[in-house]
Structure 1
């Protein structure tokens, strides 16, 4: 398969104002790539842009849950960047809580952000990506799109769906110039779990305890994860594990798809406990 040169076109990055999106933008800017940065946080997006030290960057403020706004934003992007070669979707959030603690509204909010926002911008930019000689779409899924832990139902639900979307779209686009890949990060120190949402029914201190326990299990540096994700886009990989934990969980689920939770339950006990009151 033809390798993709990300410096000879524009990469669109969602969730670019923080976390993995910001780190990927930084590394691509260092290489001289043209970028279209997308996020709902206008102030943070401007700070990221100003820190990149390049003029080949545009910023686009949009809530990815708003399909009409996404369409308008993608029209702005394609007008400013006539040659799109890459889309990397990093926008997303987390949600703590059991099914009994969560409301339907809370779960729908997370699905709208993690899944439908990803679908919406991918659909809107697909015609422009297909116009390139070669292009690649990278969707950030999660290790929790491989294995679904207790206490993370809406997050796993949304990320399993992103995985399914990515695989189905890859099959639809066979024979075209566009390839699609999903990335499965585990344990990246971005702070997503600490800044994510939790069910309103959970005591804030209990939620903070669970989030901190999860964050303590993260070992992969964002710089290393971003380099892996960029390399996957360049090589147009269909499936990429990020971090040692992701590779181990991938093997575990393959070996025992019905019983992997027996292995994962104990190390994740504190991170999934949103019911035990603080002593």
Structure 2
């Protein structure tokens, strides 16, 4: 146990409280819950104000982990869905960093964790919105890391997870006219690739934070994708797509 007081954020009130209760029972820690729709900038603003007011200079770690998947070719994806994906995966993180950076820099200092994706390294077809949001978060995070390099009390770790066993594939948004049978097959195929336990991913991320690493690739699949993209920057999908 690290002794942190936790503030957990989700749109799913029931799931959020279930998870918070389990943490309280297992570890006896102080866990607050905030039910927020990160697709709505005013709600993100109110969340940031609440966190800054509650924790102030004690704020030590901000983890921007929320995200949604949005499948479908660019022409099939509605603008509203594309914009929501960008706001949840990228815009909300930028809002929270902007609002909470003063608190994180104060006191004993703090750290930021921005969770991009393996799709923030490689960009598959039919993932235009999701990859755009994760590449945007990557660029923002890397630039901010360089800006904070001269500040000893604050820094940032950008995370690139591969296949972590979450419900992101099952809960992915798709175009309204998508064939449901095809969608079910795609979800089943994707979930077979989500093999890393979330606890293991969390341990790797926290380990990177402890070592003040600016970047961490989580999973063998993320490391392999990064290597192929680096070696074949314009042709990597010819290799990766064969096993996708």
- Band of TM-score, shorter chain: over 0.9
Give matches, 1:1-279, under 5 Å.
30-53=1-24, 54-82=28-56, 83-176=58-151, 177-268=153-244
SS in 2 for 1:192: coil
Contact 1:183/1:229 (<8 A) preserved? yes
Contact 1:65/1:112 (<8 A) preserved? yes
Cα distance between partner residues in 1 of 2:128 and 2:70: 8
Cα distance between partner residues in 2 of 1:134 and 1:154: 34
Q: What is aligned with 1:27?
A: none
Unaligned runs of 5+ in 2: none
> Relative CO higher for 1 or 2, CA cutoff 8 Å, sep ≥ 6?
1
After superposition, the Cα gap between the structure-2 partners of 1:101 and 1:68, relative to the gap in structure 1 and judged at 3 Å, is closer
SS in 2 for 1:37: strand
1:25-56 superposed Cα distances (whole Å, 9 cap, x missing partner): xxxxx443221111222222221111112242
Cα distance between partner residues in 1 of 2:130 and 2:42: 25
After superposition, the Cα gap between the structure-2 partners of 1:100 and 1:74, relative to the gap in structure 1 and judged at 3 Å, is closer
Unaligned runs of 5+ in 1: 1-29, 269-279
Of 136-145 and 228-237, deviating more is: 228-237
Cα distance between partner residues in 1 of 2:29 and 2:242: 49
Contact 1:111/1:158 (<8 A) preserved? yes
Number of aligned residue pairs: give it: 239
Cα distance between partner residues in 1 of 2:240 and 2:101: 38
Cα distance between partner residues in 1 of 2:39 and 2:75: 25
Cα distance between partner residues in 1 of 2:41 and 2:82: 19
SS in 2 for 1:120: helix
Contact 1:64/1:121 (<8 A) preserved? no
Using the size of structure 1 for normalisation, the TM-score is 0.81
Q: What is aligned with 1:11?
A: none
Contact 2:165/2:194 (<8 A) preserved? yes
Cα distance between partner residues in 2 of 1:171 and 1:92: 24
